[in-house]
Structure 1
Amino acid sequence: MKKKGSTRFIVLLIGLFYIIVNCCLLGSQKTLAYSNLSKDKEKVIYLTFDDGPSVLTDKVLDILDENNVKATFFLIGNQIKGQEAVVKRIYDEGHSMGLHTYTHTYKKIYSSRKAFIDEMLQTQDEINSLTGIKPTIIRFPFGSRKHLNGPFLEQLHSCNFKIYDWNAIMSDGVNFRTPTEQLYREATKTTITEHPIILLMHCDYMHKNTCKVLPRVIKFYKDNGYEFKIINDVTPENYFPIKK
């Protein structure tokens, strides 16, 4: 009887040992799964500004410099004259520049694929003459939706262009008088679930409220652990779904 009791005790110890080992392994797997989930949802934001350069773009650059943050500027070619120093400053301070057509005139730029590409190339030449670089990242005025299809995408890629729309937006482009509180809510709304976040803002001469709210927007994303990045020619494209 004593031998059977000892055997049962040993069996119980072995069973307890396996339970402890399995619990430890399960805990490790949960930790690994959490790490992978965190990596998949990496917190990255791209601050992007359309419709520059302008006198107000300088103010935006001041704010970015004060907060040690870099951004991406999609420039309109015919606004560069008189704002050459701003374009050089964007480049010198390590920000990224993209193409936003030459005229931003809806009927003209969307009259044909050739007209659209010619305007991008013209703006590219303007930037190149000032900085020595030829940006290849582009943004469609008013977004690529309704304008981009498979063949056009291939044509743009053949010109080495890469397209970037957005998944977060301020309404400053619709109404430059939009109150700062509304702009802040739009830029930081918790319904933004796509990552990375590409936030569209504007920096033409009338967008004073954008400048007023920008420091708060930057602080919000810093406080929430986001990394600020610039869009360049190695950034994965991000454009609205193409209808077949």
Structure 2
Amino acid sequence: MEIKKRYIFIYGILVTILLMGCLIFTSNNKVKADPIDLTEEENEKIIYLTFDDGPSILTNNILDILKEKNIKATFFLIGNQISDQKAVVKRIYKKGHSIGLHTYSHNYKRIYSSKENFINEMLKCQNEIYNIVGIKPDVIRFPWGSHKKLNQNFLNMLHKNNFRVYDWNAFMSDGINYKTPVNKLYMEATKTTITKHPIILLMHCDYMHKNTCKALPMVIEYYKRKGYEFKIIEEDTPEQFFPFKIKR
């Protein structure tokens, strides 16, 4: 009997050591594989609807759909389009949506000619928004994404200016081809639900994105059926940006 108890005790110790080893291995692999911020939301059903390249006349159509569905979203605005669409910007703000910065000119060569130019573009866009609704947003999105543009030094510079970076992990190809069929846009927007949490969905709301407006109600209903909570990007939303190599 004593021998049997001793074997059970030893077996229990071995199982415990094995489980601890598995946890350590998994944890280490997770850190190495994903340098993006890992948040407590990562296992929750949360989606952020985000729209780039507004404001435009068509942005009103997006806002109408969001109102009908009782959903809030985040709009990354281009500064040089704001003066002609003041009413749209005011509506975005008054209806409780979030506003982000998407540079002033959206001109690739100008924006990415230097880090200083990039920051000045964001500050100029921020000032345009402030003149309309009296707020200075600090959430930003790189035109065409931060991949191969962001590094630790650049990120530090952005943080010194109180900017926070938000890319995406799901998207419609409306930014590549605004004529993309509605069904394809829908399939693109809903195919990453298994692996990505929270979901940050990239869409566009410039004047030509009519198919985006047609696909949006179906996308919203899909995520509602799946039990997702819709959130806006705001001050306490953890940054989410594409991984970059850290030089040692």
Q: Smaller-chain TM-score range? A: 0.7 to 0.9
SS in 2 for 1:82: helix
Aligned match of 1:60? 62
- 8 Å Cα contact 2:42-2:198 kept in structure 1: no
2:177 to 168, 175, 178: 175
How far apart are 1:102 and its partner, in Å?
0.3
Aligned match of 1:211? 213
1:71 to 64, 70, 73: 73
Aligned match of 1:7? none
How far apart are 1:193 and its partner, in Å?
1.1
1:44 to 35, 38, 46: 46
How far apart are 1:242 and its partner, in Å?
1.2
Structure 1 residues 222 and 151: CA distance shift in structure 2, 3 A: same
Q: Which amino acid aligns with 2:45?
A: K
**Distance in 1 of aligned mates of 2:49 and 2:124:** 25
**Percentage of pairs with the same residue:** 68
Aligned match of 1:238? 240
**Distance in 1 of aligned mates of 2:72 and 2:168:** 17
After superposition, the CA RMSD in angstroms is 1.3
**Distance in 2 of aligned mates of 1:192 and 1:109:** 35
Task: Map 1:142-161 onto structure 2 (within 5 A).
Answer: 142-161=144-163
Aligned match of 2:168? 166
**Distance in 1 of aligned mates of 2:193 and 2:205:** 25
The normalised TM-score by structure 1 is: 0.83
How far apart are 1:106 and its partner, in Å?
0.3
Which portions of structure 1, spanning 4 or more consecutive aligned residues, are displaced by more than 3 angstroms? none
**Deviation by residue 1:189-242 (Cα, 9 ceiling, x = unmatched):** 156511100000000000000000100000000011000000012100000001
**Distance in 1 of aligned mates of 2:83 and 2:136:** 17
Structure 1 residues 135 and 190: CA distance shift in structure 2, 3 A: closer
**Deviation by residue 1:95-153 (Cα, 9 ceiling, x = unmatched):** 00000000000000000011000000001000011111100000000000111011110
Aligned match of 1:114? 116
Aligned match of 1:131? 133
Aligned match of 2:227? 225
SS in 2 for 1:55: coil
Q: Which amino acid aligns with 1:60?
A: I
SS in 1 for 2:58: helix
**Distance in 1 of aligned mates of 2:128 and 2:110:** 19
**Distance in 2 of aligned mates of 1:40 and 1:52:** 29
Gaps of 5+ in 2: 1-40
SS in 1 for 2:156: helix
Structure ID, larger Rg: 1
The normalised TM-score by structure 2 is: 0.82
Aligned match of 1:102? 104
Gaps of 5+ in 1: 1-38
- 8 Å Cα contact 2:79-2:128 kept in structure 1: yes
Aligned match of 2:143? 141
How far apart are 1:72 and its partner, in Å?
0.1
